[in-house]
Amino acid sequence: MRAFICDAPARAFLKQIKGHTGYFSCERCVIKGFWKNNRVTMHSCELYEKRTDELFSAQTYVNHQMGITPLVQHGIPCISSFVLDYMHCVCLGVVKRILWFFKQGPTVCKLSHIQLDELSKKIVSYSGNLPSEFARQPRSSAELERWKARV
């Protein structure tokens, strides 16, 4: 097996680590998050020590690891074998937040109603070009609160 591809709750369960809302939940570095705007937020990982498979296997990350995963017992590296989930990290994380700023953020970020309508029309126009395996059709920016993703 080369990699595990899971969403954040599944990765936390398999690796026996803090969930994605915890203070020491970053899976790539040892940063401690902080509470801001009703959520745990983290600065860039660039400044912090990276997690390693060896230290993970040795149960070194006491604030991150919640238990002993059977994966380590079978010699599976728990840092390098798990890829981060693009759908949730980027599509529903970064992209949704950027669109929210375009719609409701500070004045310097906000788009006009005309620009938002144009953006919505463009997004919805992609509906006819999606593979049948896509469970959801694109929603307009007016329905941003209801945006979800499903494979």
Same domain, 113 and 63: no
- Length, in residues, of the chain: 151
Q: What are the pLDDT digits (tens) for 107-119?
A: 888 999 899 899 8
Domains in the chain: how many in total?
A: 2
Ranges of beta strands (E only) in the chain are: 4-5, 34-36, 39-41, 82-83
Domain match, 76 and 99 both: no
Name the percent of the chain in helix, strand, coil, to the closest 5.
40, 10, 50
State the residue range of the domain holding 37.
Answer: 4-83
151 part of a folded domain:
no
User: What is the average pLDDT score of the chain?
Assistant: 87
pTM, full prediction: 0.69
The answer to whether residues 77 and 37 belong to one domain is yes
Tell me: pLDDT of 150 over 70.
no
Residue 61: how many other CB atoms lie within 10 Å = 16
Note the pLDDT tens digit of each residue in 66-83.
Answer: 999 999 999 999 999 999
